[in-house]
């Protein structure tokens, strides 16, 4: 909310520049300042030193399923860990452009846990491992980031900036901004400089991370407005207490909700306790008719967006950074009341 209010205040006349960010050239001094500031904030929040390049790109995580694979292809096979819908999609897309294979999967157990590091299968042809740290649809996450002996690449689209990170575990991270960090249209790519030295030659310019880094993410016109709003979100996260605070809140909010769920009770969730997502809490009711009533009554009480993803159904409460703790208390109270009526 504070970020939206600031956007509203600055929309027509950005900080006395006389124009809106929407009208601004990405080569202008005002935008250069926004770009510089946002990079500084992100570096500070994540503890990124000069070994890292920070890219503000377009295309959503879906484009970077392929682009990351193309840029890393000289390393060897991309060993993908399949822990839900998005990691499967990342693998299927990477396979179209570079050598990729499945090193472990929890699909057989209906993604109720993440494959443990001890189950990952690698060999001499392995170049790097790809994981999805939080599965937005299945509600399952690597709450502890594994430490394989290979470079680790992660899609962090739905838990980026919601947790502290030992950044040294990773070689590359990509994340669409739209969950925790800003509007759709912007995708963060954080990549170790050493990795950029190995990008294959001949990639189309817009796909080449080393060239995009060299051009400071401005090889073509970047999504200036999304970038600007993300910059305000980074300021907001910093002012709220940084990633320590975001993580603490995520733990608190998700624990509140999980305390209402059990494997067999009225509200059911079968994800292993250690892999329960702190961003996306999925649950089911004893039947789908009751789920429809739940959604309708929740909507009437002002709680929207609780429908599970169309691919798996059920219910899902997303607890991104912008979701206030108080609203989770309200949802939990609603759930208790609903169970008293229908349980
Ligand atoms: C974990 C994860 N990866 C990838 C995607 C796809 O992102 P985009 O729509 O930005 O391409 C999503 C979208 O929700 C996601 O949650």
CA dihedral 177, 163, 1, 54 (to 10 degrees): -40
The CA 115 to ligand 1 mean position distance, Å, reads 20
Q: Give the pLDDT of residue 87.
A: 98
pLDDT band for position 293 (cuts 50, 70, 90): very high
Active-site residues: which are they?
Answer: 86, 155, 179
Predicted model pTM: 0.97
Atom of ligand 1 nearest to the CA of 65: 4
Q: Whose CA is nearest to atom 5 of ligand 1?
A: 61
Q: Give the pLDDT of residue 263.
A: 74
Element containing residue 78 per DSSP (H, E): strand 77-82
Mean pLDDT calculated for residue range 56-73: 98
> Is a pLDDT exceeding 90 seen at residue 236?
yes
Say yes or no: CB of residue 61 within 6 Å of ligand 1: yes
Q: Give the pLDDT of residue 117.
A: 98
Q: Give per-residue pLDDT as tens, 264-273.
A: 889 999 999 9
Mean pLDDT calculated for residue range 107-115: 97
Say yes or no: CB of residue 173 within 6 Å of ligand 1: no
* DSSP sequence for 247-270: HHHHHHHHHHHHTT-BSSSSSB--
Q: Give the pLDDT of residue 158.
A: 98
Please state, rounded to an integer, the average pLDDT across all residues of the chain.
96
Say yes or no: CB of residue 159 within 6 Å of ligand 1: no
Q: Give the pLDDT of residue 265.
A: 87
To the nearest whole percent, how much of the chain has pLDDT over 70? 100
Atom of ligand 1 nearest to the CA of 137: 16
Q: Give per-residue pLDDT as tens, 144-177.
A: 999 999 999 999 999 999 999 999 999 999 999 9
* DSSP sequence for 157-202: TTTTTSS---GGG-SEEEEETTTTTS-TT-EEEEEEHHHHTTPPTT
pLDDT band for position 284 (cuts 50, 70, 90): very high
The CA 175 to ligand 1 mean position distance, Å, reads 8
């Amino acid at each position: 909310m504070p970020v939206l209010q600031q956007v509203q205040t600055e929309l027509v006349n950005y900080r006395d520049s006389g124009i809106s960010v929407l009208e601004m050239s990405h080569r202008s001094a005002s935008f250069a300042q926004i770009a510089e500031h946002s990079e500084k904030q992100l570096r500070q929040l994540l503890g990124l030193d000069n070994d890292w390049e920070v890219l503000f790109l377009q295309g959503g995580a879906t484009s970077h399923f392929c682009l990351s694979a193309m840029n890393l292809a000289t390393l060897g096979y991309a060993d993908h860990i399949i822990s839900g819908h998005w990691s499967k999609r990342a693998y299927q897309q990477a396979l179209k452009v570079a050598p990729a294979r499945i090193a472990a999967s929890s699909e057989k157990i209906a993604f109720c846990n993440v494959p443990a590091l001890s189950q990952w299968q690698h060999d001499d042809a392995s170049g790097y491992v790809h994981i999805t740290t939080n599965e937005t649809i299945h509600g399952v996450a690597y709450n502890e980031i594994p430490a394989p002996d290979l470079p680790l690449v992660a899609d962090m689209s739905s838990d980026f900036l919601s947790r502290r990170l030992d950044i040294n575990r990773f070689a590359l991270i990509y994340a669409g901004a739209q969950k925790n960090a800003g509007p759709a249209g912007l995708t963060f790519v954080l990549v170790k400089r050493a990795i950029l030295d190995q990008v294959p030659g001949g990639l189309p310019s817009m796909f080449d991370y080393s060239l995009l880094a060299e051009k400071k993410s401005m090889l073509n016109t970047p999504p200036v407005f999304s970038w600007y709003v993300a910059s305000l979100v980074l300021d907001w996260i910093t002012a709220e207490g940084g990633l320590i605070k975001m993580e603490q809140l995520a733990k608190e909010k998700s624990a509140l909700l999980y305390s209402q769920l059990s494997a067999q009770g009225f509200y059911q969730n079968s994800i292993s306790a250690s892999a329960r997502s702190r961003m996306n809490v999925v649950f089911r009711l004893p039947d789908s008719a009751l789920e429809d009533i739940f959604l309708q009554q929740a909507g009437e009480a002002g709680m929207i967006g609780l429908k599970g993803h169309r691919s798996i159904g059920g219910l899902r409460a997303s607890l991104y950074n912008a979701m206030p703790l108080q609203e989770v208390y309200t949802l939990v109270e609603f759930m208790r009341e609903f169970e008293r009526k229908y349980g």
